Amino acid sequence: MGGSRVQVNKPHKSRFSSKSSRNLHKTSVKDRLAIAKSERNVGKGARAARIQRNKMIRDQKRAAVLKEKRELSGSRSPPRVIVLFALCASVDLESLADDLLSLLSKDTCVVLSGTVASSEYRTRITVLKAPHGDLLSCMEMAKVADLMVFVASARSSCEETDSYYIDSFGNQCLSVFRSLGLPSTAVFIRDLSTDLKQRNELKKMCTSSLASEFPEDCKFYPADTKDELHKFLWLFKEQRLKVPHWRTQRSYLLSQKVDAEYDGNSEKCTLFLTGYLRSRNLSVNQLVHVSGAGDFQLSKIEVLKDPCPLNSRKNQDLMDADEMHDAEVIGSLAPDPQNQEALVVENIPDPLAGEQTWPTEAEIAKADEDKKKKKIKKRSLPHGTSEYQAAWIVDDSDEEESDCDNENDDGMVLDEGEDGFPGQENRYSDFDGDGASLRLGDSDEETDIDSVMMEVDNLTREKIEDELKELKEAHAADEEFPDEVDTPLDVPARKRFAKYRGLKSFRTSSWDPKESLPQDYARIFEFDNFKRTQKHVLAKALELDQENREDCIPVGSYARLHIMGVPSAVASKLSLLAKTIPVTACGLLKHESKVSVLHFSVKKHETYDAPIKSKEELIFHVGFRQFVGRPIFSSEFINTDKNKMERFLHAGRFSVASIYAPISFPPLPTIILKRAGEDAAPAVAAVGSLKTVDADRIILKRVILTGYPQRVSKRKASVRHMFYNPEDVKWFKPVELYTKRGLRGRIKEPVGTHGTMKCLLNGVLEQRDTVCMNLFKRAYPKWPTHHFPLSE
């Protein structure tokens, strides 16, 4: 071979060589060095950035923990709330609360009822005793508790429950507390033996029995002596407490004093709530919700001198909070009329919004243009016929079209979805007309059923009722179809079920959510995009909390809220309830006072046995707020936009409860209470959580009309007791039929004068089978007489 070129062989490929190393010979030496250098620099820089970032995260966490500890021992944080709850009625909470308060107030005084500032433990604590047997008080205390202390007695024996240390009321409250979200928990074990050996054995037995009822991080403490309580308090002052997430999104005030200022003959008054602000900053321009009373505006916020400072002097004179009427006011905030959120509850509909008005000149001109552009159908007319004479000539095609229109007007509307029922290409495609013979049976096989129908005309009303009763009793055990209804004998079915329609497919058939809405929908508000609005509102609330604004009071402030526009009757009820139940005021986010359609995912409580029917009045505890609603229950389907209504709330599974109520942004826990009578205490009926706010959620009520075969000839059958006159048979002819044993079919024609009909099926109908027809209509919740429990 000629030439000066030197042969260059490829290097041997190593076993673990990469693709880049195998193709390295294709790159020049200069580019190769540049690539290696840049890759080396990127790797080194990325590693250094990761190390720096991890160090920054550790420093931030360490600073947050240090800040929290300093705040706990300082005067900026509100007092920690400890709620004592007795797991059994035999537990004595009074002595335990007295021992705790006496330990905390060695060198100080109890300035407020139940609130102590201890310089020895460097903390401020509010002790609340949950009254055993009062469900509402226990729930309201659990909503504001920073630490739930469950007190058990080692000597108690509750035989009605699985655990010897928890009675039935304790079990019910525990399940409610879990649904609300448990804060930090601890268990006190009382009444232990003085003998050391027996004491340890009793403590082990009690701990092993109760451990499964509480979170894993829950600790058990003996609490018989003051030394044991001292050990607990020493650990508690350094403990990092956890609270449910829903409580961190809203500011709230646990009132320690409730007053009202009444104006002469006015039905409204100003309510004064005094206490420590918790969780987040509160703006004077915000709306507030008073538990059980409703949503209101603030007329003023007064920041008062802290009556329970942490650095109080020793041997201070005892002061009772109930006698402190003239508290020192440090500052005062007044709302800005331009920035204050308006109290809007319902939308005010315009009754003339849907009225027909006189057309404008533009609309008349447009109608004339459309008339000129309209194409006139060409018809074959005799020679020399004028336009005036042609207007009086009626074509055969026009007659046929008018006849078809009349026939369609006599029948029921069938929503067919994308593929219409008559033209759908499946095994029911031959349902059109009497000539159907491919899938439903040949006409040669048809027997003369009409002759048998003559005996139906001789039946009387009593005979029909007796026969129908016997058939219903025979099928009473079948609980697979709970929506079956009887067609009335005295009212035509086309009038009784005039609001219902048939659906070709529950999943794919279309249903317009804006069609035929009730009048109540004109009073509610709805969102174009609920998730986007919620994200925007929560971001604004976070900015309000982080900025030092002049119209806000910070967390930990001892303040007096002036709540205006409270009905006098409601204020008097709150003053009485404040003696047993803590009255809470929480700040509302934007839009949360407006009424819309709220949907809750709920489950019937295991302790409630009575039936819960749709549209019954129930009390909804949603976070800090309380609503009165008359819900409808529905089951939720994943692959469709339609949901089936349930007449009752079934036990053992989740359902969706929909009500008209003020808007709330999820996630929020929900406890549903029901009153057995006017004077009876409400019982826990269901628990769950807020799902979404959506006015377009379609809930369909289904009814099933049933008929029973009389004569069967292969795939043809005569069915009776579904309708009782031939006009109803013609009206419901477009709706598809099915049987409980899986056959499908349609109505062919009425037979006789008592509503018996001839049906075509895709299989042989058995005599014991039942023919069914599904009809649907949209269901809505019922508007409550009052939105809040105390406003009735």
Q: Which CATH number is 139's domain given?
A: 3.40.50.300
User: What is the total residue count of the chain?
Assistant: 792
**Residue 447 clears pLDDT 50, i.e. is over it:** no
Please give the pLDDT value at position 546: 80
Please give the pLDDT value at position 551: 85
pLDDT digits (tens, 9 = 90+) for 593-640: 999 999 999 999 998 988 888 999 999 999 999 999 999 999 988 888
CA angle 166, 167, 170 (to 5 degrees): 75
Please give the pLDDT value at position 427: 35
Establish if 506 belongs to a structural domain: no
Establish if 475 belongs to a structural domain: no
Over range 23-30, report the average pLDDT.
65
Over range 13-23, report the average pLDDT.
62
Average pLDDT in the chain: 81
**Residue 41 clears pLDDT 60, i.e. is over it:** no
Highest average pLDDT, of 67-71, 157-161, 427-431, 456-460, comes from 67-71
Is the model's pTM score more than 0.85? no
Please give the pLDDT value at position 15: 61
Where is pLDDT greater, at 121 or 717? 717
| Distance, CA of 782 to chain centre | 16
- Contacts of residue 219, defined as CB under 8 A and 6 or more positions apart, other chains included, come to 186, 187
Do 231 and 259 fall into the same domain?
no
Kindly report the backbone phi and psi dihedral angles of residue 531, in degrees, each rounded to the nearest multiple of 5, phi listed first: -65, -40
Q: How far apart are CA 506 and CA 634, in angstroms?
A: 15
Report whether 741 contacts 766 (CB < 8 A): yes
What are the distances in angstroms from CA 775 to CA 202, 212, 644, 727?
A: 63, 48, 12, 17
- Contacts of residue 578, defined as CB under 8 A and 6 or more positions apart, other chains included, come to 255, 258
Token representation of residue 600: 């809750």
**Residue 579 clears pLDDT 80, i.e. is over it:** yes
Token representation of residue 542: 């976070």
Over range 449-476, report the average pLDDT.
58
Do 91 and 193 fall into the same domain?
yes
Domain assignment of residue 238, given as a range? 71-242
Cis peptide before 667 (omega within 30 of 0): yes
Establish if 31 belongs to a structural domain: no
Please give the pLDDT value at position 781: 95
Do 302 and 341 fall into the same domain?
yes
Do 547 and 599 fall into the same domain?
no
- Contacts of residue 200, defined as CB under 8 A and 6 or more positions apart, other chains included, come to none
Establish if 543 belongs to a structural domain: yes
401 falls in which pLDDT band (50, 70, 90)? very low
**Residue 317 clears pLDDT 50, i.e. is over it:** no
Establish if 224 belongs to a structural domain: yes
**Residue 390 clears pLDDT 60, i.e. is over it:** no
Over range 529-555, report the average pLDDT.
88
What does the DSSP 8-state code read for residue 732?
Answer: T
Do 624 and 678 fall into the same domain?
yes
39 falls in which pLDDT band (50, 70, 90)? low
Do 542 and 653 fall into the same domain?
no
Q: What is the CATH number of the domain that holds 596?
A: 2.40.30.10
Q: How far apart are CA 481 and CA 484, in angstroms?
A: 6
Do 160 and 81 fall into the same domain?
yes
Q: How far apart are CA 177 and CA 148, in angstroms?
A: 10
Over range 222-230, report the average pLDDT.
89
Q: Within 10 Å of residue 190's Cβ, how many Cβ atoms?
A: 21
Q: How far apart are CA 602 and CA 618, in angstroms?
A: 13
Q: Which of 129-143, 310-324, 590-604 has the lowest mean pLDDT?
A: 310-324
Residue 685's SS3 state is strand
**Residue 135 clears pLDDT 50, i.e. is over it:** yes
Kindly report the backbone phi and psi dihedral angles of residue 186, in degrees, each rounded to the nearest multiple of 5, phi listed first: -150, 155
Cα torsion 331, 336, 341, 343 to 10°: value is 90
6 falls in which pLDDT band (50, 70, 90)? confident
Share of the chain above pLDDT 70, in %: 76
Over range 88-111, report the average pLDDT.
81
What are the distances in angstroms from CA 580 to CA 140, 281, 576, 688?
A: 10, 27, 8, 26
73 falls in which pLDDT band (50, 70, 90)? low
Q: Beta 737-739 vs 744-751: how paired, if at all?
A: antiparallel
pLDDT digits (tens, 9 = 90+) for 680-714: 788 999 999 999 999 999 999 999 999 999 999 88
Where is pLDDT greater, at 724 or 351? 724
**Residue 787 clears pLDDT 80, i.e. is over it:** yes
Unique residue bearing structure tokens 């360490």: 62
Picking from 225, 244, 83, the residue whose alpha carbon sits closest to that of residue 150 is 83
What are the distances in angstroms from CA 340 to CA 286, 551, 564?
A: 7, 10, 13
Q: How far apart are CA 175 and CA 182, in angstroms?
A: 10
Do 108 and 229 fall into the same domain?
yes
Please give the pLDDT value at position 746: 94
| Distance, CA of 743 to chain centre | 38
Residue 339's SS3 state is coil
**Residue 407 clears pLDDT 50, i.e. is over it:** no
**Residue 29 clears pLDDT 80, i.e. is over it:** no
Do 226 and 122 fall into the same domain?
yes
Where is pLDDT greater, at 4 or 69? 69
Q: Hey, what amino acid is at 621? A: H
- Boundary of a domain, candidates 584, 600, 616: 584
Establish if 719 belongs to a structural domain: no
Where is pLDDT greater, at 42 or 515? 515
Please give the pLDDT value at position 680: 78
- Boundary of a domain, candidates 697, 713, 735: 697
**Residue 65 clears pLDDT 90, i.e. is over it:** no
CA angle 531, 535, 538 (to 5 degrees): 135
**Structural domain tally of the chain?**
3
454 falls in which pLDDT band (50, 70, 90)? very low
Do 235 and 258 fall into the same domain?
no
Q: How far apart are CA 445 and CA 448, in angstroms?
A: 10
Residue 596's SS3 state is strand
- Contacts of residue 289, defined as CB under 8 A and 6 or more positions apart, other chains included, come to 295, 296, 585, 586, 588, 592, 624, 625
Do 229 and 108 fall into the same domain?
yes
Establish if 459 belongs to a structural domain: no
Over range 387-397, report the average pLDDT.
50
Do 103 and 197 fall into the same domain?
yes
Q: Beta 147-153 vs 123-129: how paired, if at all?
A: unpaired
Q: Beta 287-290 vs 744-751: how paired, if at all?
A: unpaired
- Beta-bridge mates of residue 282: 553
- Boundary of a domain, candidates 647, 681, 697: 697
Q: Identify the helix (H) or strand (E) that includes residue 495.
A: helix 493-496
Establish if 775 belongs to a structural domain: no
**Residue 315 clears pLDDT 50, i.e. is over it:** no
